[in-house]
Structure 1
Amino acid sequence: MTAIVNEFTKMRGLRLWPLLVAMVLVVFGGTALGIMSDPEFDPGAPGAWNHPLMGAAMALTMFSPLFVAVLASRLVDAEHLANGWLFSATTELPAGRLCRAKVVALGILLVATTGTGYLAVPTLGSLVGIEVPFPLGRWLGYGCCAMVIAVALLALHVLIAARFEDQLVGLGIGVLGLLIAAASQFFPTWAGHLLPWSYYALIIPAGYTADALAELPLSYPSIAALGCVVTALFLAATGRLDRKEL
């Protein structure tokens, strides 16, 4: 617990709040675009909530991979610049445990930011006067799945940032992941399971089928499997770092 509190203390000096505010605004903007982009949008139509849901999902798909990469890079780079790995080791906090503390601290921040931005769906939907009942289950389902993917990517990027002192490596992978996430909706279903970024395509809550915006199923088993696999691999990798001498 002390290690996690220390990570939050480090964040205070990194000025992350503009990035967090920008992410929330991006999701609100994407949600608004999802509503306004269709000139035939009807607040009284049975599928009216598909528009803000799709807008929010597209915004998270397009920006979350890079957002996660920047967060991980900023916090881990502090250890490289100040020789923090060696200092932490002298205080009986090995590198693996330090990485786990970073993922927990950043994960809390990431979930809070994503959740705040995702409130755009009911907020903007209500403002434009959508009359049909709010799909609470589908809204929560997508939100939880998106957070699982984001935290999985966070664990990956913390390991990358810890491995390479040059943080351009992790940021470059984040940009590549953004492109993969954006293109993954055109992949076959089996290909969507190959890379963590492509899992965003498996949870798109709404999309156009036969020229009409319709509800799409969420692949809960696939997201659960991703979470379990990444957790196991992350614990194994950080366990190895704990045993590695600096």
Structure 2
Amino acid sequence: MTYLKLEFYKLKRRRVFLTTTIILLIQAVWVIAATDQYLSRGRMLDFPWESLLMTFTSMQVIFFPIAAAVLSSRICDIEHRGNTLKWLETTSETRSRLYLAKFTASNLLLFISSLITFGSLIVYGFFLKDFSASFPVTAFLTALVGTALVNAALLALFQAIALYFKNQLIVMVAGIVSGFLGIMGSLLPSALRRLVLSCYYLDLSPAVMAYPSGEILLTAVPVWPFAVALFLGIILYFAGRYYTCKKEF
């Protein structure tokens, strides 16, 4: 708990949370504009919430990896500048505790930013457009849980990169590449696609389009995408912690 408090104290004036939230709100504005355009043309009128959710999860593959990369970079860059990881070698404290504190802080900040983003979509549907259709609570909660799970896996990857390399540009490139792979995920072989974390934003979304009717349906998400995303996240976390603890700074 002490380490976690110190993490938030170190971030006090770095505006990390503000930066992450702005990135995700840009996505929300884009989603709202796209949905509004669909509705103004008379399309998706029978399933406005489903359309909003599907558009949102489709764009998550671009914005959320970048937001996670920015967050990890900003949080970990402090340690490189202050040479904190080398100082820890002269104390009884371990790098693993610092690693866990940073991972926890990153997840909390990104989860709150995600809540704000989801909240903006709900405000749009309820108060700005006044959707007549009933609000799919279960679908939005499923999407939120899936988002948090994929976020955690991505943060495990980006934090490992950000702490291992002093050049934080590498983390940003990793975030952009993750977003690109998420966009191209449908073109990748199935086995390879399962290894691309950003693809799980779509896999864990309950909103899918039915072809050839073009209707957007809310379906139950299978358990296996949650299990695979969780497994990959755990592997990345412990691998990143191991190499960070073993690396000489």
TM-score under structure 1 length normalisation: 0.88
Quick check: 1:97–1:242 contact (8 Å CA) kept in 2? no
- Relative to structure 1, is the Cα distance of residues 245 and 187 closer, same or farther in structure 2, using a 3 angstrom cutoff? closer
Give secondary structure in 2 for the equivalent of 1:92. Answer: coil
1:230 deviates by 2.0
1:73 deviates by 0.8
Quick check: 2:28–2:120 contact (8 Å CA) kept in 1? yes
Q: Which residue of 1 aligns with 2:179?
A: 178
Q: What is the correspondence of 1:89-100 to structure 2 with a 5 Å cutoff?
A: 89-100=89-100
User: Aligned pair 1:69/2:69, yes or no?
Assistant: yes
Give secondary structure in 1 for the equivalent of 2:216. Answer: strand
Q: Which residue of 1 aligns with 2:43?
A: 41
Q: CA separation in 2, counterparts of 1:212 and 1:37?
A: 17
User: Aligned pair 1:222/2:219, yes or no?
Assistant: no
User: Aligned pair 1:212/2:214, yes or no?
Assistant: yes
- Relative to structure 1, is the Cα distance of residues 33 and 209 closer, same or farther in structure 2, using a 3 angstrom cutoff? farther
1:187 deviates by 4.1
Q: CA separation in 2, counterparts of 1:19 and 1:117?
A: 13
1:93 deviates by 2.8
Sequence identity (%) = 23
1:168 deviates by 1.1
- Relative to structure 1, is the Cα distance of residues 179 and 233 closer, same or farther in structure 2, using a 3 angstrom cutoff? closer
1:129 deviates by 2.0
1:70 deviates by 0.9
Q: Which residue of 1 aligns with 2:151?
A: 150
Letter aligned with residue 145 of structure 1: G
Q: Which residue of 2 aligns with 1:107?
A: 107
Aligned alpha-carbon RMSD (Å): 2.3
- Relative to structure 1, is the Cα distance of residues 179 and 229 closer, same or farther in structure 2, using a 3 angstrom cutoff? closer
Q: CA separation in 2, counterparts of 1:208 and 1:9?
A: 48
Quick check: 1:160–1:170 contact (8 Å CA) kept in 2? yes
Q: Which residue of 1 aligns with 2:198?
A: 197
C-alpha distance after superposition, 1:71-120 (max 9, x if no partner): 11111111111111122333433223212110101110011101110112
Letter aligned with residue 234 of structure 1: Y
Give secondary structure in 1 for the equivalent of 2:29. Answer: helix
Q: Which residue of 2 aligns with 1:87?
A: 87
Q: Which residue of 2 aligns with 1:60?
A: 60
Q: Which residue of 1 aligns with 2:169?
A: 168
Q: CA separation in 1, counterparts of 2:34 and 2:239?
A: 41
Residue ranges of structure 1 left out of the alignment (5+ in a row): none
- Relative to structure 1, is the Cα distance of residues 198 and 24 closer, same or farther in structure 2, using a 3 angstrom cutoff? closer
Give secondary structure in 2 for the equivalent of 1:157. Answer: helix
Deviates more, 1:49-58 or 1:1-10: 49-58
1:131 deviates by 1.1
Quick check: 2:182–2:196 contact (8 Å CA) kept in 1? no
1:188 deviates by 5.3
Q: CA separation in 2, counterparts of 1:69 and 1:87?
A: 25
- Relative to structure 1, is the Cα distance of residues 188 and 120 closer, same or farther in structure 2, using a 3 angstrom cutoff? farther
Q: Tell me the matched-pair count.
A: 244
Q: CA separation in 2, counterparts of 1:27 and 1:180?
A: 18
TM-score under structure 2 length normalisation: 0.87
Q: What is the correspondence of 1:122-161 to structure 2 with a 5 Å cutoff?
A: 122-126=122-126, 127-161=128-162
Give secondary structure in 1 for the equivalent of 2:153. Answer: helix
Residue ranges of structure 2 left out of the alignment (5+ in a row): none
Quick check: 2:153–2:230 contact (8 Å CA) kept in 1? yes
Q: Which residue of 1 aligns with 2:119?
A: 119
